[in-house]
Amino acid sequence: MKMQRLVLIIAVFLFVLPLQAQTAKVYRIGFLSRGGFGSGTVPGRLSEEISRKLAQSGFVIGANLELVKRGAEGHYERLPALVAELVVTKVDVIVTFSYPAAAAAKTGTSTIPIVIFGAGDPVKTHLVDSLNRPGGNITGISDVAAELAPKRLGLLKEAAPKLQRVAMLWNAKDLGMTTRYEASAAAAKELGVAVLSFGVGEPNDFGGRLRRWSATSPRAF
């Protein structure tokens, strides 16, 4: 996680620091999250860290830097409108958190640079053409969670050799998370482990999923 944060900050710097030599103006960094920017959230912590790092290079909030934060608070349908707000605000770069936010930004602008974080595998989710030649206006971090998920399941099987069933709970509205689930489910099949699938899309889904979870009495974690 620490390395991912460092890469994200470096990616933002690549877009912003070259602007320092230009005439004085207020540069705007847009942040887009499927959730919010509370102090305990990943978007909240990273946006503040980026702000501190930029301050060390002469970009100070209130002087020549503005952070424009937009969060959907879990309402994914709001993301396109939030992207439109960032475009109208004329931000110099958009930093997105999660696949839904990245996809909305990609649809909303083909000219403003986009830095993605936590969006899963950008090739499998069709955010970029390839890692070597991404094309378009997107850069950022390729999430290897889908590759690590099968390995984690393998370790779980080693720790509990009698493991027969495992429950998987994930955000079914997030394609990045769905690819992680699919990789884990495929690995489970190879290990002879049955998967209890619990994909959720809305907060109200949790109650039904948890009741189903309890009824099936999964023995794994």
Instruction: Work out the number of other CB atoms within 10 angstroms of the CB of residue 179.
Output: 20
Domain ranges of the chain: 2-140, 145-216
Q: Which CATH class is domain 145-216?
A: alpha beta
- The reply to whether 2-140 and 145-216 are identical in fold is yes
Class of domain 2-140: alpha beta
pLDDT at residue 218, as a whole number:
46
Q: What is the pLDDT of residue 105?
A: 97
Beta strands of 14-142 (E only): which ranges?
27-33, 65-71, 93-97, 114-117, 138-140
- Identity at 85, one-letter amino acid code: E
pTM of the model: 0.76
List, in sequence order, every residue forming a beta bridge with 166; answer none if it has no partner.
Answer: 195
CA distance 206 to 115: 31
In this prediction, residue 127 carries a pLDDT of: 92
H helix intervals, 17-161: 42-55, 79-89, 99-108, 145-159
pLDDT at residue 221 in the model: 38
Residue-wise pLDDT tens for the chain (221 aa)? 444 554 455 556 555 555 554 556 788 999 999 999 988 888 898 888 888 888 887 888 888 889 999 999 988 999 999 999 999 999 999 999 999 999 999 999 999 999 998 888 888 889 998 888 888 899 887 777 667 777 888 888 888 888 888 888 878 888 888 888 888 888 888 888 888 888 776 666 666 666 666 666 544 43
